[in-house]
Amino acid sequence: MEIKSAEFVISNTDVKKCPEGNLPEYAFIGRSNVGKSSLINMLTNRKGLAMTSQKPGKTQLINHFIINNNWYLVDLPGYGYAQRGKDGREKIRKIIDAYILKRLQLTNLFLLLDCRHDAQKIDLEFMEWLGNSSIPFSIIFTKTDKVSKSRLTENINAYKEKLLETWEELPPILLSSSTSKEGREEILNYIDEINKRLY
């Protein structure tokens, strides 16, 4: 898929204020500092489309971007940022939950995981909640340029083994690096394939 246009549409904290209509939405989520904004900018080839920050917890709103005038890319707040405090985390959790559970246009949720880390309890619990809520999701391992090929394979295999302890079958898994642009084509083609099945 070629991205010809990518434009910011709206930011809000209320799912009821999300864009009207039936265009499919592909949402991106992950723990704070997983590289979500950088990945969105890499996919759309727009350097400042999503706000990137060295400081975690930058995204605190539901951000809609219209792509090629026929689907939305949705940037969701990162979860589990400890320095936000309990009330702050709870507020973000409610925004995320409302969008994921109530937004009928949500076609696929991309869950971003840092390929350098072992399976984290917070991510595993989040995936379990998605599964129990029947939310279609895929995994994108980010920052693949930060580890050697052999270490990457090792880490991902270990993650798959961990998931298979509770999952009968694994969700689709994609790899990405916003630095080397690895995975750009695969992720966009994956979205394109789903869109073709919808229309």
Average pLDDT, the chain: 91
Q: Can you tell me the mean pLDDT for 75-83? A: 75
Q: Identify the burial level of 30 via C-beta atoms within 10 angstroms of its C-beta, where 0-12 means exposed, 13-18 middle and 19 or more buried.
A: buried
pLDDT at 34: 92
Extents of the domains making up the chain: 6-198
**Gap between the Cα atoms of 77 and 79, Å rounded:** 6
- The fold adopted by the segment(s) 6-198 is Rossmann fold (3.40.50)
CB of 117 closer than 8 Å to CB of 149: no
Q: Can you tell me the mean pLDDT for 17-40? A: 94
Q: Report which listed range, 6-10, 51-55, 138-142, is most confident.
A: 138-142
**Gap between the Cα atoms of 80 and 22, Å rounded:** 31
Look-up of token digits 């890319």: 73
pLDDT greater at residue 73 or residue 61: 73
pLDDT at 57: 46
pLDDT greater at residue 166 or residue 33: 166
Counting DSSP H helices and E strands in the chain, the numbers are 5, 7
What pTM does this model have? Answer: 0.93
pLDDT digits (tens, 9 = 90+) for 83-118: 556 777 788 889 999 999 999 999 999 999 999 999
Q: Which two tokens stand for residue 169?
A: 């079958």
pLDDT at 81: 59
If phi > 0 it is left, if psi is from -120 to 50 it is alpha, else beta; for residue 177 that is beta
Question: What number of CA atoms fall less than 13 Å from residue 28's CA on the CB side?
Answer: 27
Beta strands in the chain (DSSP E): 6-12, 25-30, 62-67, 71-75, 106-114, 137-142, 173-175
Q: Which two tokens stand for residue 27?
A: 């949402």
Q: Which two tokens stand for residue 58?
A: 């930058």
Longest dimension (CA), the chain: 46
How far apart, in Å, are the Cα atoms of 28 and each of 65, 92, 109, 165, 199?
Answer: 12, 15, 6, 25, 22
